[in-house]
């Protein structure tokens, strides 16, 4: 298969996933796939980048288009997209979606550098609700004091889960005055204190930097209003809390930071989500070796919410090392 046919197939697969929840975005991806089939300036641009071979190509391409809207570099597209979204919500003709696609095509051609830069970025679908799976894992562990270390922490939104307010069936947990209010599944979490928190990422995002916040928003389709509002609130809160995320490969960072905690009775929990498939087998082995070696010197567990690969749904796993 050619690069164009591989990329077109990936775009169509992602378009099908978005068809119900984000119909205008899905139409743009479908038309973009057809553009790759036909060839031309847009196809030449996208196929010149190695991302066209990635199973995440559709997410990266849509994020690039979305970032043009957020940055104000594609005003016509923003206007056409809003009209198409309103028409879709009203169940009207999709002719406005075609106009949105044509505006997107022009924006891609006129902003080739920005699109290629978007294809260079790691996918960071960083949502505070993902921390709900971490909370479920911490509930299973049941430790009263936790030191939390996150691999692939991005902007650190999961590291501050105790600053959110969680609502489960018959229970609430977290900061009752928090601006971030999220639904949660599972049993009532125990009373626990996070006595330390830190994280690493190859491309950390600073929640206090508007450009970084904009990049995080680019990975949310414009139709997904609730996700955008949650991210807004979480980014603002994270900027106030000031959690630190180091720029570092995960294996090296873990070796340097996985030392016995200062406070006795503290359980160290390694957490990661949507991170494991990006690693090589050697990197995974390095992390596992570090965790196994540290298990004799501290209470240690790993909580992960990961897919087997980019094409499968994630699953929650809790591993107790000691």
pLDDT tens figures, 119-178: 999 999 999 999 999 999 999 999 999 999 999 999 999 999 999 999 999 999 999 999
* Residue 95 confidence (pLDDT): 85
**pLDDT at residue 308, rounded to an integer:** 84
**Alpha-carbon distance 83 to 95, whole Å?**
10
Packing angle between helix 95-110 and helix 112-120, nearest 10 degrees?
90
Task: Return the pLDDT at 93.
Answer: 65
188's tokens: 């009532």
**Is the pLDDT at 67 greater than 90, yes or no?**
yes
Confidence of residue 262 (pLDDT cuts 50, 70, 90): confident
Q: Indicate if the pLDDT at residue 311 is higher than 90.
A: no
The gap between the terminal CA atoms of the chain, to the nearest Å, is 48
The pTM of the full predicted model, rounded to 2 decimals, is 0.91
Q: CB neighbours of 220 closer than 8 A, spacing ≥ 6?
A: 66, 125, 227, 228, 231
Mean pLDDT of the chain: 95
Give the pLDDT score at 94: 74
Residue 310 scores a pLDDT above 80: no
Over the stretch 220-242, which tens digit does the pLDDT of each residue have?
A: 999 998 999 999 999 999 999 99
pLDDT 10s digits, 79-111:
999 999 998 888 876 789 999 999 999 999 999
Please tell me which residue, 308 or 322, carries the higher pLDDT value: 322
Q: What is the pLDDT of residues 9-57, one digit of tens each?
A: 999 999 999 999 999 999 999 999 999 999 999 999 999 999 999 999 9
Three-state secondary-structure class, residue 192: coil
Could you give the CA distance from residue 22 to residue 2 in angstroms, rounded to a whole number? 28
Question: Looking at residue 89, what is its pLDDT?
Answer: 85
């Amino acid at each position: 298969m050619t690069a164009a046919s591989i990329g077109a197939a990936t775009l169509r697969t992602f378009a099908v996933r978005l068809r119900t929840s984000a119909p205008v975005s899905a139409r743009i991806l479908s038309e973009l796939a057809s553009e790759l089939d036909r060839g031309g300036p847009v196809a030449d641009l996208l196929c010149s980048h190695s991302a066209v071979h990635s199973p995440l190509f559709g997410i990266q391409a849509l994020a690039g288009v979305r970032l043009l809207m957020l940055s104000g570099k594609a005003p016509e597209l923003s206007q056409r997209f809003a009209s198409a979204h309103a028409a879709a919500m009203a169940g009207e003709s999709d002719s406005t979606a075609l106009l949105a696609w044509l505006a997107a095509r022009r924006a891609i051609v006129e902003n080739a550098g920005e699109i290629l830069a978007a294809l260079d970025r790691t996918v960071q679908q960083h949502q505070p609700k993902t921390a709900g799976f971490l909370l479920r894992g911490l509930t299973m562990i049941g430790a009263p004091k936790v030191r939390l270390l996150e691999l692939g922490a991005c902007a650190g939104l999961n590291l501050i889960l105790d600053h959110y307010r969680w609502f489960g069936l018959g229970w609430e947990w977290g900061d009752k005055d928090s601006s971030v209010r999220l639904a949660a599944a599972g049993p009532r979490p125990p009373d626990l204190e996070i006595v330390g928190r830190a994280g690493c990422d190859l491309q950390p995002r600073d929640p206090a930097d508007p450009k970084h916040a904009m990049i995080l928003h680019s990975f949310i389709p414009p139709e997904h209003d609730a996700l955008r509002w949650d991210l807004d609130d979480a980014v603002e809160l994270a900027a106030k809390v000031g959690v630190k995320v180091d720029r570092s490969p995960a294996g090296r960072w873990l070796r340097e930071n996985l030392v016995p905690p200062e406070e006795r009775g503290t359980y160290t929990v390694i957490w990661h989500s949507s991170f494991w498939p990006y690693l090589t087998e050697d990197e995974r082995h390095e992390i596992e070796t570090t965790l196994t070696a540290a298990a004799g010197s501290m209470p240690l567990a790993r909580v992960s919410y990961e897919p087997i690969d980019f094409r499968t749904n994630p699953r929650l796993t809790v591993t107790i090392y000691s």
